[in-house]
């Protein structure tokens, strides 16, 4: 509500900054429609509308991306999260938001040193034998310094920017209010479910602020890769120079003695950034092997482990001698339940094997309880899958196929759960990175053996026995509780307290409309009574007066005017809602 937003005086300056940036990038009309202009004008903070068209020549995705960059770290992160929402946004928006770079000037070392001293219990110079005050990298939320421990271990120290949490919490409060206003005032924005997007984003960002949680994620994924070897003999023979004792997939070690919410200390990875492909060639690494190993590692996380790196872009990957791969930055990870993994396996197999009904069944399960034209959706999915019939496996692009499937859902105004959007985005990023390394990279061929193996594993006797034991246990628990439940039911019936609740959405809506109509009728009667009573009072001499007229008569007329205005506004809003 607007009046609730106006009560947040402490964040009003931040709101003015946000609205001014939106106006400057040509979104002044949106600022007006969601009520921000009125809020700021009432608070005495006028917007400078004269610059509203300064960047109007840019396409809308570019304008939004630049506005997000200017609004600060919270909004940059929001854009990066929106880049994963392939179910909500068109490809040009996804591509533009993918350009958002989370970089910022380094914080003064004095501030960093003070915070490190508070968190570590001593100045960094006493904890580390070497600590470089110049950061390796600086982002909007944290910056990274290189250091060395007393045992000569090379480490990186990731430090959260001092004072960043209050700024982010203020931004999140306003984002929540803006999403609420946008959903109420803008029908075209309502279809994007802004409140749900902001809620999921706030959860993700708060988790990202907790570096200890990020390190726990890293350790869990490291455990899943313990003892991992490449099962492709052709690849193994190509790297005979590498000792079998060296791990193929590397996750940086965490030093928990100096890790907490605001600081994490991890092993330094001395490798080649995934962005520097020329350096990969100069080091003599094999791009084809790197592409295949990276794909298999991420597919293992998704299909076998159910915990995966949700942002496997080149900046979070390092290549090492021996064609080994290191993953860093586990602030954003995805999790899949066993049921979701089974659905994913069925979907990908349906796409690769050209089985449209299998794909359609999974997509319908993913849409949940949302209202959908099932026949139309199934027909579109069948048509989409059939167009790839007879296409060779190496010519299929799983990322593009998943994007097209999500576009079909978007056309039906359906959205996917957050875990699935992260998963699809990870697939698209993974395939894109593989193609950068090797133009002939074939994601479908890499995925097929793992998918078939996972499907066979699901129907092996041990897996069937495990699921059967669980189902029998649930059934026995239900049977054991049945006598007690029946006893309670009969006792409630004997006491006349047996209740049956039927929740019918249409009847509830009709009841709300009836209640609203009754309220309006009562207000109308009260207004009419005030007018009649005030008219009578006006004819009675004596009593207090105001401007030469009886005071209580004027008071009654004033109350009637207020009630009449409320009544007209209520009717207008109801009519507007019905039209929408």
User: Which residues are the active-site residues?
Assistant: 311
Alpha helices in 438-580 (DSSP H): 443-458, 461-494, 505-538, 551-579
User: Using H for helix, E for strand and C for coil, what is the string for 116-137?
Assistant: HHHHHCCCHHHHCCEECCCCCE
Q: What is the CA angle 119-121-124, rounded to 5?
A: 80
Measure CA 361 to chain center. Answer: 25
Dihedral of the alpha carbons of 242, 243, 244, 245, in degrees to the nearest 10: -130
C-alpha pair distances (Å), 300 with each of 234, 249, 400: 19, 11, 21
Beta strand pairing call for 249-250 and 324-327: parallel
Half-sphere exposure of 238 (CA within 13 A, CB side): 18
Phi, psi of 84 (to 5 degrees): -90, -10
**Residue written as token pair 């056309």:** 411
204 token code pair = 């993700």
59 token code pair = 């396409």
320 by DSSP, 3-state: which? strand
Nearest Cα residue to 334 out of 459, 456, 429? 429
Nearest Cα residue to 405 out of 390, 423, 432, 392? 423
Q: What is the CA angle 91-370-415, rounded to 5?
A: 20
> Which residues sit opposite 158 in a β-bridge?
144, 264
Cβ pair 119, 94 in contact under 8 A: no
> Which residues sit opposite 279 in a β-bridge?
none
Cβ pair 433, 294 in contact under 8 A: yes
CA distance 132 to 106: 13
The set of residues, in sequence order, having a beta carbon less than 8 Å from that of 257 and lying 6+ positions away, is: 265
Terminal alpha carbon distance of the chain: 20
The set of residues, in sequence order, having a beta carbon less than 8 Å from that of 4 and lying 6+ positions away, is: 177
């Amino acid at each position: 509500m607007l009046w609730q937003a106006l009560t947040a005086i402490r964040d009003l300056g931040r709101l003015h900054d946000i609205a001014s940036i939106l106006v400057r990038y040509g979104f002044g009309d949106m600022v007006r429609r969601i009520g921000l202009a009125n809020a700021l004008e009432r608070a005495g903070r006028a917007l400078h509308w004269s610059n509203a068209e300064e960047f109007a020549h840019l396409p809308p995705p570019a304008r939004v991306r630049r506005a997000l960059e200017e609004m600060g770290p919270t909004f940059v992160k929001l854009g990066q999260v929106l880049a994963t929402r392939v179910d909500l946004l068109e490809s040009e928006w996804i591509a533009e938001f993918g350009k958002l770079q989370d970089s910022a000037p380094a914080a003064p070392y004095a501030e960093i040193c003070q915070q490190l001293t508070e968190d570590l219990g001593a100045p960094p110079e006493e904890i580390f034998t070497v600590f470089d005050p110049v950061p390796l990298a600086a982002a909007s939320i944290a910056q990274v310094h290189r250091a060395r421990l007393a045992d000569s271990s090379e480490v990186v120290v990731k430090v959260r920017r001092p004072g960043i949490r209050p700024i982010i919490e203020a931004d999140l409060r306003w984002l929540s209010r803006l999403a609420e206003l946008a959903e109420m005032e803008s029908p075209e924005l309502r279809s994007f479910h802004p409140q749900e997007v902001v809620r999921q984003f706030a959860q993700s960002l708060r988790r990202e602020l907790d570096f200890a949680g990020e390190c726990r994620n890293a350790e869990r994924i490291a455990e899943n890769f313990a003892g991992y070897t490449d099962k492709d003999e052709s690849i193994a023979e190509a790297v005979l120079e590498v000792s079998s004792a060296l791990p193929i997939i590397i996750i940086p070690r965490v030093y928990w003695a100096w890790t907490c919410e605001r600081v994490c200390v991890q092993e330094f990875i001395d490798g080649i950034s995934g962005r520097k492909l020329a350096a990969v060639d100069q080091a003599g690494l094999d791009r084809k092997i790197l592409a295949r190993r990276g794909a298999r590692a991420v597919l293992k996380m998704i299909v076998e482990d159910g915990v995966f790196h949700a942002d496997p872009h080149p900046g979070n990957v390092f290549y090492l001698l021996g064609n080994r791969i290191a993953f860093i930055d586990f602030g954003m990870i995805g999790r899949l339940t066993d049921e979701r993994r089974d659905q994913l396996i069925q979907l990908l197999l349906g796409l690769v094997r050209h089985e449209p009904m299998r794909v359609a069944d999974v997509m319908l399960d993913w849409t949940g309880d949302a209202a959908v034209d099932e026949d139309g959706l199934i027909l579109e999915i069948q048509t989409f899958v059939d167009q790839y019939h007879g296409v060779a496996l190496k010519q299929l692009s799983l990322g593009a196929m998943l994007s097209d499937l999500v576009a079909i859902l978007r056309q039906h105004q359906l959205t996917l759960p957050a875990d699935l959007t992260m998963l699809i985005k990870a697939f698209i990023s993974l395939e894109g990175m593989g193609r950068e390394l090797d133009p002939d990279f074939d994601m479908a061929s890499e995925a097929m053996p793992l998918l078939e193996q996972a499907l066979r594993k699901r129907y092996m006797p041990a897996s069937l026995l495990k699921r059967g034991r669980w189902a029998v246990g649930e059934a026995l628990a239900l049977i054991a509780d049945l006598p007690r439940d029946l006893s309670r039911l009969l006792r409630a019936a004997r006491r006349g307290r047996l209740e049956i609740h039927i929740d019918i959405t249409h009847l509830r809506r009709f009841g709300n409309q009836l209640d609203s109509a009754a309220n309006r009728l009562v207000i109308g009667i009260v207004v009419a009574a005030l007018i009649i009573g005030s008219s009578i009072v006006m004819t009675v001499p004596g009593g207090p007066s105001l401007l030469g007229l009886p005071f209580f008569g004027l008071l009654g007329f004033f109350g009637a005017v207020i009630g009449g205005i409320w009544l007209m506004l209520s009717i207008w809003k109801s009519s507007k809602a019905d039209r929408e």
